[in-house]
Structure 1
Amino acid sequence: MEKLHVPVLLTESIKLLNIKPGGIYVDCTLGRGGHSSEILKKLSTGKLFAIDQDPTAIKEGKEVLTKISPNFEILEGNFLNISALLAIKNVFKVDGILYDLGVSSPQLDVGARGFSYRFDGPLDMRMDPINNPLTAAKVINTYHPNDLVKILKNFGDENFAEKIVENIILKRPINTTLELVDVIKSSLPQKVLKAQKHPAKKTFQALRIFVNNEIEVFKDSLEQSLELLNSKGRIVVITFHSLEEKIVKETFKKLTISPRDTVISTLPIEIESDTEFKLVIKKPVRADKTELKINNRAHSAKLWAIEKK
């Protein structure tokens, strides 16, 4: 029997969702069903809607959830369309929404999907291979050098972007993941090659984020999610990247701090803030030592939560 995938910060994220047995919840990132399983276990008359655009995740996730309860529905699509996907099911308000923005292991582990820097495969990286025509190969082989440098720096924090791009241009066309890994390795100094992190990690991350337009998609989806919440409803987000963090931080700050709060804080009496939302936790939650030992991906994970009053 296959071992159930345990997502990063699972216990903490489910606790922060504050699940009501009769509530309606949305897992925006079904993946292998780790979070969805735990949400479903806490529902009696409530319902879970799980969103994913990856055919493999949908198939595997459905198998996992069916064993727990029938109180779920999988919505096939991008969480960019969360409002529309729910509206089709006649759902316009929910009690909780979860985002786990990490890439699922099956995507990384299957060479043919083109996400992996460890297994050979076509340079693809599309989470939705049916509706997204932009592959990583197209980006690598046709984009202007200046644009490639910007992609690697903005989405991968890659310090050696210029050198990597210089070598990419020399080696074009690059058609497989391991061909790209070789080009990256030839562009980096020994101290980076000897470091614990894989030398291609930042470049591959940057390409994946760009190909799937992940940052803009998340930003738009989060705005819709805030509109979908019932009173006392919560949004819980697990981020893995500084750009995702920035969106959460700025959005949550804007919603939970009103101009008059500055004045209120100086008064000797306690007055309720007039904002529509409140932070559930003041600082994001990080993985503890135990989780860090068993899950390397937990190092960059941060957990955030907001509640509608």
Structure 2
Amino acid sequence: MKRRLERDGGVAGGEAGDAAAPHVPVLLAEVLTALGPRPGGRYLDGTFGAGGYARAILDSAPGATLLALDRDPTAITGGAGLVAAMDGRLTLAQARFGELAQEAARFQMTPLDGVVLDIGVSSMQIDQAERGFSFRFDGPLDMRMGCEGRSAADFVNEAEEGLLANIFYHYGEERRSRAVARAIVEARRKAPLTTTKQLAELVAGIVWAEPGAAHPATRVFQALRIAVNDELGELVAALHAAEAVLAPGGRLVVVTFHSLEDRIVKQFLTERSGRAPAGSRHAPVVAVAEPTFSLVNRGPIAAGEAETRLNPRARSAKLRAAERNAAPAREPEPDLVALAGIPAPQPRRSPRA
């Protein structure tokens, strides 16, 4: 299934590994336990990929129906066989998971009994050189999950130096972000950067990596991928959408693969499950919104030793889950990404841009 990736010697923000390894659903047993699919229930998989979670959910709950979304048209085409095999129980639609509320309404699937999100880039995308996610292969500098909009090449060849530096620093946590951005601007004056190999070699000439550590371009590629696909913004939209469409007792299960994603999910679920503080004569009760979720687990669930031994890509995975209650859905926070402590990259004028 989806092999979600973070740190790596050859992909855009992913774990190192054999490209020929089978598609393994990460934390599959834990996802099913947290989601608790029941016969006749209605579920949504916001990140279909190769269909591993979708198949397992429907196999474990006779009579259940599932709407699966994926922004990648190749995933939709590849899922046609599973749709046919499920005999009307599986609907597959090309859409971003941030649009899950609209899609659930469109297919008359509301309210939902469960939503599962597996955040990140899939191994199918990584393994296709023409998609431009991996510097393990030389291919066009693309990285678009939905095959539309601005590509990574557009970003590196058009964005001003200050914005590039901020993207690399905030989304990739690259300490040499300014030096990398400066080198990109200098290089593109001579000729556009158009391939993954060009960018990886440029970054490797600036960022030093210890022997055995991740490839020096890993953080820059991760940052570009996040920016190109607005991954954090989509995650925020999906969390709010799930709150709006889940029935009381419905479960939200989210698997993340790097700290930026996990901080957003943690911030959202902590805030949505919080209780009003007790008051006193010195500190009166402050009115707060009624909690809309109850945490299923107090902290994140990580893959066990047996799974990480078989599938090294599971090392960075974290699962968080919560159960919807009857309180009305709240208005979305104006900027959940910022509340999670992740500054939004902003343009900064530079004399070299």
Report runs of 4+ in structure 1 exceeding 3 Å deviation.
64-70
- In the other structure, the counterpart of 1:308 is 324
The question of whether the paired residues in 2 share the 8 Å contact of 1:125 and 1:211 is answered with yes
Equivalences, count: 295
User: Quick one: which of 219, 222, 241 aligns to 2:258?
Assistant: 241
Match of 2:320, as an amino acid?
Answer: W
Q: Counterparts of 1:305 and 1:59 in 2: how far apart (Å)?
A: 30
> 1:6 deviation in Å?
1.5
Structure 1: unaligned runs, 5 residues or longer: 264-273
Q: Counterparts of 1:63 and 1:199 in 2: how far apart (Å)?
A: 39
Query: What is the correspondence of 1:94-173 to structure 2 with a 5 Å cutoff?
Result: 94-129=112-147, 132-172=148-188, 173=192
- In the other structure, the counterpart of 1:13 is 31
Identity of aligned residues (%): 37
- Choose between structure 1 and 2: higher helix proportion: 1
SS at match of 2:315: helix
* 1:146-190 superposed Cα distances (whole Å, 9 cap, x missing partner): 11010011111112212222221222111101111110111122x
> 1:69 deviation in Å?
4.8
Q: So what's the TM-score if we normalise by structure 1?
A: 0.90
SS at match of 2:266: helix
- In the other structure, the counterpart of 1:271 is none
Aligned: 1:93 with 2:97: no
User: Quick one: which of 23, 41, 51 aligns to 1:23?
Assistant: 41
Match of 1:78, as an amino acid?
Answer: R
Deviates more, 1:158-167 or 1:229-238: 158-167
Q: Counterparts of 1:297 and 1:197 in 2: how far apart (Å)?
A: 14
The question of whether the paired residues in 1 share the 8 Å contact of 2:303 and 2:315 is answered with yes
The question of whether the paired residues in 1 share the 8 Å contact of 2:98 and 2:234 is answered with yes
- In the other structure, the counterpart of 1:267 is none
RMSD: 2.0
SS at match of 1:45: coil
The question of whether the paired residues in 2 share the 8 Å contact of 1:36 and 1:65 is answered with no
Q: Counterparts of 2:203 and 2:182 in 1: how far apart (Å)?
A: 10
The question of whether the paired residues in 2 share the 8 Å contact of 1:31 and 1:104 is answered with yes
Query: What is the correspondence of 1:247-266 to structure 2 with a 5 Å cutoff?
Result: 247-260=264-277, 262=278
Q: Counterparts of 2:37 and 2:22 in 1: how far apart (Å)?
A: 21
Structure 2: unaligned runs, 5 residues or longer: 1-19, 280-289, 326-353
The question of whether the paired residues in 2 share the 8 Å contact of 1:37 and 1:65 is answered with no
SS at match of 2:226: helix
Closer, same or farther: CA 120–289 of 1 in aligned 2, 3 Å? same
Aligned: 1:186 with 2:202: no
SS at match of 1:232: strand
Q: Counterparts of 2:45 and 2:242 in 1: how far apart (Å)?
A: 11
